[in-house]
Structure 1
Amino acid sequence: MDIQIKRIYEDASKNDGFRVLIDRIWPRGLSKENAKLDEWMKDIAPSDELRKWFDHKEERFDAFSKKYINELENHPDLIKKLQKTASQKRLTLLYGAKDEKHNQAIVLKKILLK
């Protein structure tokens, strides 16, 4: 499977393949036209409760990861859809967080590659 992770604020590239936003909330300051999305998959994003609890605090990332993985178990159809896409062409998971090392895209990519 070919999966990459990018911030939604980075320029789109022809090498991105299928671009899917995995945030529940639309990224600030970005028009839908400039996002160049193939899909916005809100339901695979962390729940509002989990997102607010995590609050992008690095020290909570391990606990956040475990809780998010538990939430992902409720969406096997979305996981399978993304895996199928990634097996056919490059899949780019897009997220809005500033922290490139501690975000839901990292967790989701690990789950997709299992």
Structure 2
Amino acid sequence: MSEIALKRVYEIASPKDGCRVLVDRLWPRGLNKAKADINEWDKNIAPSSELRKWFHHDPQLWKEFSEKYMKELYESNLGKDFLKRLKNQEKITLVYAAKDEEHCHAVVLKKYLENLK
């Protein structure tokens, strides 16, 4: 199965990233498509707009956000489709815009996808 990595979309893309999938619901500010250098944009696997707005990247809400987002992921079943669609990729890099690399939805998403393998 594919290796899954995380990277901010503002960092320079590398061939070592493999298949770069933007996993944010909104397009990253100040970034054009060429500079983002993504293979795919999967808005649906990102947290719901309601959950994203509620969390607003507040580290105090991280634990509760993680649980709620994980619940959304398991209920949606989008992860299985995501992994099936990208099954031939050696490496998948989930790219995201959040500044806080420790308290961002991509961390939860990576854990969820790895649990599905």
TM-score with structure 1 setting the length = 0.92
User: Quick check: 1:92 aligned with 2:93?
Assistant: yes
Structure 2: state its 5+ residue gaps.
none
CA distance in 1, matches of 2:41, 2:53: 20
The one-character-per-residue Cα deviations of 1:76-109 (angstroms, maximum 9, x if unpaired) are: 2x31243343674100001100001000110011
CA RMSD of aligned residues (A): 1.4
Tell me which stretches of 4 or more aligned residues in structure 1 moved more than 6 Å: none
CA distance in 2, matches of 1:87, 1:3: 13
For 1:104, the aligned partner's letter is H
Instruction: Return closer, same or farther for 1:86/1:11 CA change in 2, 3 Å cut-off.
Output: farther
- Percent of aligned pairs with the same residue? 52
TM-score with structure 2 setting the length = 0.90
Structure 1: state its 5+ residue gaps.
none
**Corresponding pairs, count:** 113
